[in-house]
A and B are shown apart, each in its own frame.
Chain A
Amino acid sequence: MSKRYEIRLAGLGGQGLVLAGVILAEAASIFENKNAVQSQSYGPESRGGASKSEVIISDEEIDYPKATHIDLLLCLTDAAAEKYLKDCPETALVIADSDLVPSAIPEKYRSVKAPITRLARETVGKEFVTNIVALGLIQELTGIVGLPALEKAVLGRVPKGTEDLNKRALEVGREAAHEYGAHILSARG
């Protein structure tokens, strides 16, 4: 891992991106003892407005808590892709929901398009686990946190009674990494 890894999760309020960021950062900092900071920005609406959640993971002390050199961008809306792709250096990995982001991701990026929301709704059975499917996908594609840490963090944050559903969501996300992101996985080796 490089010293500082920057993740931006972008979409709409209600898609669970803030919670996804919290879980990812918690997995890294509490369960893997790295340094991690999670932050967010959103509008005054409780759902439906643009929402952005950022996670910085580092072996060193984290000073500036916001992303400046994005390593991973997740887009769950076309608007998010349009807004944030231009902030990404060419080294960034871009993950997008293939149903919700119809625009093409520029060739210069390593990118993965997967029907994240549809997988949550149809394969897992509940659309509200979209964020957890996305986390499974991110985990398998990047290895930025280990699966045991991520699973512990997920189970610590989701409502009681939804544990199995969320474990399944992680699994579906990880399977999607192989189905839609084999090119990334083979490059990682």
Chain B
Amino acid sequence: MSAEATEKKAPVIKFLAGNEACMEGALAAGCRFFAGYPISPSSEIAEKMSGRLPKLGGKFIQMEDEIASMGAIIGASLAGAKSMTATSGPGFSLMQENIGYAMMAEVPCVVVNVMRGGPSTGNPTGPSQSDVMQCRWGTHGDHPAIVLSPNSIREAFDTTVQCFNFAEQFRTCVVLAMDEIVAHMREKIVIPAKEDIKIVNRKKPNLKPGDPYKPYEADASLIPPMMNFGEGFRYHVTGLDHDATGFPSGAPDNQEILHRRLVDKVEMHKDELFLFENHRTEDAEVLVVAYGSTSRSAKRAVEEARAQGIKAGLFRPITLFPIPEKQIALAASHAKKVVVPEMNLGQYRLEVERILGPAVPVVGVHRVNGEPIAPSLILSAIVGG
């Protein structure tokens, strides 16, 4: 494989697996540091990165575990490199403490979680969507969460680029939640030319050497501009509650300001974060809400229901968090029933129920057997009373 694919001026056609497309997306977004501990079903991302990054002047490190992997990407990002790691459930669990650190210290980074069954080592090679709530609430404390979930190979590329852009824009840790089917299936992908890929870089303060620098002083955007280590400004980074200087501060006012800002900086910009697809929802009396590979089963089920004369539609959140609440409610505005199929026991269904309230019945189609949810199962839920 050529090392220059992401540098080409013209689009490149390839036949790739989701993990490979994710890796290409990361490189296209400017990722130049990867630290990880390979784990199925995410291993190909690390494998391919280890071959490609050095040729692009980047660094690949296989770490001793996932805790260290997360620490390494935080450090690399503070030094200015766009950084990522990739893992699956058991490794994602280990990363949680440092994911919280990245959010608290506002260090941009991307974590890819290719979901497998759990808890614990679970089912290493089977598909699952059972980490959805861990992606949202895995680390402790109130925190922002930006979580994207692709359903195709091209989208694995695009959402990975988006994850980097959001991480850089919002100075936070962004999660790409893929499932094993998207990670391992292969499709044709047209990788866009470099100039057609929108890249966002972290906002830097406009300072001269010697100017005072308050690393956590935010403007109206609530997102502080970020100076990279090694560029002439010393500052303190901590996971403790801190003030604008970066040094620990337990003053109640400071804590309140910090915690609210960390959440609000994402909340106030969330309309920029919503990626979603509406398929035949305009008159849908039965709405299916599905994401990841399950949405492809759902799309088929919707088509089959339409062929039977049932007005079915699909709302597909690509941005799982923040939840596109208004968009879900709008898609459900004609719905007499909502179906939420997931390869877990109802994690996103609970959110949909919360959003829509008791007026609309919400039916879950949940499978945790390591098999994809077949369209026929979703169709039964659409048709059934």
Binding site for B on A (CB under 8 A): 22, 25-26, 29-30, 35-44, 62-66, 68
Contact = CB atoms under 8 A, between A and B. Distances in A.
B303 interface: yes
Q: B-side binding surface: helix, strand, loop or mixed?
A: mixed
Which A-B residue pairs are the 7 nearest by beta carbons?
A39-B185, A63-B299, A29-B188, A64-B300, A63-B300, A38-B186, A26-B15
Interface residues of B, number: 22
B185 A44 contact: no
Given A44-B40, A64-B296, 16 more contacts: A22-B186, A25-B15, A30-B15, A35-B188, A37-B186, A39-B185, A40-B185, A44-B124, A63-B300, A64-B297, A64-B299, A64-B300, A65-B185, A65-B293, A65-B296, A66-B374
A39 B184 contact: yes
A41 B293 contact: no
A35 B188 CA distance: 8
Given A44-B125, A64-B296, A64-B297, A30 B188 contact: yes
Interface in B257-309: 293, 296-297, 299-300, 303
A42 B125 contact: yes
Interface string B242-269: 0000000000000000000000000000
Nearest to A157: B15
Contacts of A44: 40, 124-125
Nearest to A34: B188
Interface in B118-161: 124-126
B13 interface: yes
Nearest to A39: B185
A29 B125 contact: no
A87 B169 CA distance: 49
B192 interface: no
Interface string B353-385: 000000000000000000010111000000000
Contacts of A35: 188
A41 B376 CA distance: 20
Interface in B170-190: 181, 184-188
Nearest to A65: B185
Contacts of B126: 41
A63 B303 contact: yes
A160 to B, nearest CB: 14
B185 A37 contact: yes
A39 B125 CA distance: 12
Which of the listed residues B188, B303, B375 has the most CB atoms from chain A within 10 Å of its own CB?
B188
B184 to A, nearest CB: 6
A147 B126 CA distance: 34
25 contacts: A22-B186, A26-B15, A29-B188, A30-B188, A35-B188, A36-B187, A36-B188, A38-B185, A38-B186, A38-B187, A39-B181, A39-B185, A41-B125, A41-B126, A43-B125, A44-B40, A44-B125, A63-B299, A63-B303, A64-B299, A64-B300, A65-B296, A66-B372, A66-B374, A68-B375
